[in-house]
Amino acid sequence: MTSARRRSAGAPALTGAHDVDTDALAAVLNDFAATVTGDFSVDDILSQLGSGVARVLDVDGAGVMTPRAGGGVLRVVFATPGPAEAVERLEESLGEGPCHDAYLSGEPVAVDDLTSTGRWPALERRAGAVGVRAVTAVPMRARGRLWGVLNLYRLDSGPLTAAEQAAATTLANLATSYLVVAADRDAARNAQDELAHRATHDPLTDLPTRWMFFEQVSHAIAGLARRPGHVGVLFLDLDALKEANDTFGHEAGDRLLTTVAERVRGAVRPTDVLARLGGDEFVVLLEDLTTPGAAGTVAQRILDSLRVPYRLAGRAVSTSVSIGIATTDDPAQTADALVSQADSAMYRAKDAGRGRYEVFDAVTHAAERARTTAQERLIADLTHALRAGELVLHYQPIVDLLAAPADRERGVYAVEALVRWRHPTRGVLPAGAFIDAAVGGGLINDLGAWVLAEACRQLTAWDDELGARAPQRVFVNVSTQELTDPRLPGRVADTVRAHGLDPRRLTLEITESGVISHPEVTVSALEQVRALGVQLAIDDFGTGYSSLGRLLEIPATTLKVDQSFTRGLSGNRDAAAVVSAVLLLGHNLRRTVVVEGVENAETLEALHELGCTHVQGYFVSMPQHPDELRVQLVDPPWLAATADPGY
C-alpha cells in the first residue's frame, strides 16, 4: 500500500520511484525562514520539521523525537496522526527501535521492513499490527551533540530514494541549525534573566532587595487611589545575628538568616512581599489590609514562628526579632516615608525589650526626632569644642585622713580630673551633659585622649609651681569605649613620657560594668597599662556586676565606694555595713579604699568611726578650676574640715 503523492505539474522528480515535491520543499523552506523571524520555540521548529517532511516526501507519516532533560530517554515532540504516531509512541514507551539506534549511533538507520528484522521484537510485533513497514531515522547533529531524530514512515516496504534522503537530511539540518539559534537565544535570555534576578534579589535568601521592595511599596500605595484600604510595612531587625556570628561563625550566621527568612515567609500571607534590606534587616509589604490593626496580627504570627528553637551548629538556639509597624490609607504617602516610619517604630520595639512589635505613632516620633536633632546638634557643637579649646578640666581633691598633719600640708593625696565644657551659650556644662553625645558621635576616644594629656600636663605644672604642695597623683576617668580600644596602652605610655611624669602618679578610673562587658579585651589592656607602672581604680564600686572572682582579675590598686552608699550614712545601718565590708575587703586585699560623696560633717564622722582613710566630696572640696585650686593647695581649707583628735 502506498500513498502516491503527485508532484506539481511541470516539476521534475529528483530521482527514483518516489517523487520529491520541489515546490513543496521550497514552500517549507520559506515557512522555516518566516518562523525564525518571530519569537519561535524549539517545539515550533520540530513540529514544522515533521509536518514539512510529510508535505515534501512521498511518505505516510513523520515524527520527531528528542532526548528528555538529562539525556537518555527520548520523547515524542511531533508526530503525524495515524500509524506514524502509534509507532512513535511505541518507541517512546519501549525505549527501543530505529529512532533510538540512530540517536545512540549518530548515524541514519533505514529499515525496509520493520516486521522482519528481528532486532526489536516487541516493537516489530506491535508495529506490524498498525501496518507500518519501512522506517528511516535521520539523526539531527550540530555542535558535537545530537538534538533529536527525524523519523519517516511508509506503509509499504522499501527504502527512501537518494533524492528523498537528501531532502530529508536538508530539512533535518536546517531545523537543527534553527534549534542552535533558539538555544543560543534562550541561553542569552536566561543569562539576562539571571543578571536581572541577581540585581533585584538577595543572593543568600533569594528575597527581593531594597530597590525592588521600594518599587512594590510605591505601586501598592498608588493603588489606594483606585481601591481604598490600608497598606502596611513591617520592619524587622534580627536580635541575635551578631551573637550567632561571634559564637558559631559567619556560616552559622548565614544559616540563621535563611532560617528566619523561611519562617517569616511561612508566617505571612502568600500575597505579602518579604524582602531583605541587608545585614539583619527584613521588611514585609502588606497590601489590602481592612484595618491598620490587621498588621499587628501578621507581626504577632512572625514573632510566634521565631520563638520555636531551631538547630544551629548542633545546638538548640532561639532567636527573636524586633518589629516596627507603619500603615497608611493615603495614596499621596511615599514609600520612603512609610518604611522610615516602620524603621522608627522598630527601634522603639528594640529599646522596649526586643522580641516584640511597636506601631508607629506620629506624636511619639516627633518627640524622638526632636531629641535626635538636639543630640546631633550637641555632637556637632562638641566636635567644634574639641578643636576650639572650649573644654577645661576641674579637679576635686582626694584627702588622706591618716596622714600626719605635716604630711597633709605637703599636698593632697590625689585630685580627680573632671572635664567641663565652657559652652558659648549654655555656660559651663558638667560631663554628664555631653558624655553620651561624645559616645554616640564617636568622639569619646578623642575626648579621653585630651583629658589624659591635659591632666598630666597640669600635674607637672603644679609640680613646677608648688613643689611639695602639689597633688601627689591625678585620677583620670576612662570610658568603656576607650578600654576596648587597642591603642589605649600605647596612648597612656606616650602621654606620661611626653610630660615627663612618673607613671605611678597617674591613676586610671574604670567602672565595673565597663570591664565586665568585654572582659577578654579590657583585662588584657589593663594588664598592659599596669605594667607601665600606672595605677588603676575601680570607680563606683558596688554598683556594677562586681564579684570577688572578677575583682581578683582586675589589677586595681584602689576601690572607690559609690556615693549612693554614703548618703545618709550616719543613720543607715545597712549602708554602713556595706561601706564597712568594702573597707575590710580593701584592707585585706591591700587596696586603697576611697569613699566618695562626703557632703557633710555627719557623714565624715560616720566614716571616721568605720575606719575610713581616704575621702572625696563637697564637704572636703568642690571640683575647681586649676587656678582656684592652686590657692587652696597652698593653704588647704580641708585640714580643719577633716581634723579629728582621735585619728
Alpha-carbon distance of 498 to 7, in angstroms, equals 109
Q: Are residues 494 and 590 in the same domain?
A: yes
Using alpha carbons, list the distances in angstroms from residue 477 to 82, 128, 417, 451, 510: 97, 102, 8, 9, 6
Q: Are residues 457 and 542 in the same domain?
A: yes
Q: Are residues 303 and 436 in the same domain?
A: no
pLDDT of residue 543: 62
Strand-strand pairing, 506-511 and 474-477: parallel
Q: Are residues 278 and 185 in the same domain?
A: no
What CATH number is given to the structural domain containing 314? 3.30.70.270
User: What is the percent of the chain with per-residue pLDDT over 70, rounded to a whole number?
Assistant: 87
Query: Which three-class secondary structure state does DSSP give residue 66?
Result: strand
Using alpha carbons, list the distances in angstroms from residue 549 to 491, 552, 553, 592: 29, 5, 7, 18
Q: Per-residue pLDDT tens for 514-571?
A: 666 666 667 788 889 999 999 999 887 766 555 566 667 778 899 998 888 887 787 7
Report residue 144: phi and psi, to 5°.
75, 15
Q: Are residues 130 and 179 in the same domain?
A: yes
**Type of residue at 411:** G
Q: Per-residue pLDDT tens for 577-627?
A: 888 988 998 888 899 999 999 999 889 988 988 999 999 999 989 999 999
Q: Are residues 231 and 136 in the same domain?
A: no
Q: Are residues 354 and 438 in the same domain?
A: no
Question: What's the whole-model pTM score?
Answer: 0.53
Q: Are residues 264 and 304 in the same domain?
A: yes
Q: How many domains does the chain have?
A: 3
Alpha-carbon distance of 580 to 218, in angstroms, equals 67
Q: Are residues 261 and 179 in the same domain?
A: no
Using alpha carbons, list the distances in angstroms from residue 622 to 307, 330, 603, 638: 53, 59, 16, 11
CB 599 within 8 A of CB 617: yes
Whether 578 is in a domain gets the answer yes
Residue 366 burial (CB count, 10 A): 10
Domain end marker among 360, 384, 412: 360
Higher pLDDT, 8 or 559: 559
Q: Are residues 160 and 224 in the same domain?
A: no
Alpha-carbon distance of 202 to 197, in angstroms, equals 9
Q: Are residues 381 and 486 in the same domain?
A: yes
What CATH number is given to the structural domain containing 470? 3.20.20.450
Q: Per-residue pLDDT tens for 561-575?
A: 888 888 778 778 888
Using alpha carbons, list the distances in angstroms from residue 282 to 273, 295, 327, 469, 475: 11, 15, 17, 63, 47
Domain end marker among 132, 157, 189: 189
Q: Look up the domain containing 537 and give its range.
A: 374-637
Alpha-carbon distance of 264 to 301, in angstroms, equals 9
Q: Are residues 509 and 592 in the same domain?
A: yes
Instruction: Write down the mean pLDDT value for the chain.
Output: 84
Q: Per-residue pLDDT tens for 308-366?
A: 877 766 677 777 889 999 999 999 999 999 999 999 999 999 888 878 999 998 887 77
Kindly state the DSSP code that residue 571 receives in the 8-state scheme. Answer: G
Residue 26 pLDDT exceeds 80: no
